[in-house]
A and B are shown apart, each in its own frame.
Chain A
Amino acid sequence: MNANGNRPLLEVEDLVVRYPVPRGLVSSLGRKPKENVQAVDGVTLSVRSGELLALVGESGCGKTTTAQAVLRLVDTTSGAIRFEGRDITRLSTRALRPLRRRMQIVYQDPYESLDPRLRVRATVEEPLAIHGLGGSKTEREERVRTALARVELSPPELFLERFPHELSGGQRQRVAIAAGLVLEPSLLVADEPVSMLDVSVRAGVLRLLDRLRENGLGILMITHDLSTAARFADRIAVMYLGRIVEEGPAQEVVHNAQHPYTKALLSVVPRRDPRDRARPQILTGETPDAVRIPSGCRFHPRCPVAIDECSLRDPVLERPRNARTPDHRAACILA
């Protein structure tokens, strides 16, 4: 599928996304200085074909903004985004169009992302019409059926004429995925794809994504759920306040975490086994807002092991001393 040999499908380099903070009338008249939200502050990541990268973090950490920037849904302040070997950071909307169908997104809530008035057939066919693809009516029909089969809604006849309200949550999310797959993308951005679904059907959708990945799709999954990432990602990148603070193979990040924030996040994941009641490392307070980013290491005010130097030096993402694999990186001067 991807003819770029060993080059990653998606490469994001030092991405920065800043928004101006809207000022109220009083602030404007009072000539208060304009402030910026530093939503994404220097993110570097890559996704290969057949790989699932999980971008993990709490709300406001910049994971969704990163994904939106990748899809060119928000403007990039600086940095570069390369997709299928092309720099798309400043590509015009027109030039971007043929590439758009190669990168698709699945949203969190299949109750909102599907048009309730459209039958499954129309929902899945619509992207073809928008991109002027699919040729004749018969060919389009065939593509729709193939897409439904790929998301395991089979036989397709059973689903083609149904409306969203006639489907379960899991089936709706599969329809949403089919509407993305019908364009045969090489990259799928999945923004919390199962968090609105009942526990009993989550794994089904996740395993579907896993099979699509095995068949060559690159997946960037945005999630707040480390357990899901641990089970389904090749690599995990943990974000805090606009930065990736730790990144590496999923098993390494989960079982050999090096950044104090990752360690704290892992410790508060409730365990299924009631006998496994380890004392969680609960951080006090909440993530500071991205307008006033702390000096030095941005995590230092909440860090349980911070030393004086942490408020002065902004750590770079590099291989920690205790790394067991070469591609494990953490941004902590103590690691």
Chain B
Amino acid sequence: MSGGPGSSKRSATAPDECRRRAPVSLRLVRIDDRLIHGQVVASWLRAIGAQRIVIVDDATARDEFLREVLTLAAPEGVPVEVHDVASGAARCSELARTPEPVIVLARSPRTMLALRQAGVPIEVVDLGGMGAGPGRRRLHKTISVSPEEIRELRELEQLGTRVEIQIVADDRPISFRSLDSGN
């Protein structure tokens, strides 16, 4: 609860109003450990008509080479920005106020939580790709989570952000809560 009860209430209701009046600018806010790849470029980008991709990831922002590859990997005409968490939060909040449809990508729930706590108005977080590994439990198809990440995702829900699994745009979203309840 960074901004007090008043602000959190407002940010929880604001997306609903937006949905009725104008499309939400942060059209897809997605956790995906591969960041930009086929599902994002081939399915999501076209399906929602996004015109910009914002990547928020501290490690990638430090890596000159990966930054350039990601910048050049998106289809022509779709600018890609790579930010660390601090500048990413400011940039997302700024973009959320513009009409331009944007895709926001982060590698981990922790980054997403940090964005949310910094006041970025995120209505839905999409779990798009979280690989398996030691200590990780499979939640659904290609989505695996660590206990730590479960806690972070629950915290996101408590902040009023819905967490859903929707791997490609044509899939029907599955709520994280429905899969988490059996835990």
A and B co-occur in one complex: no
Interface residues of B (CB under 8 A from A): none
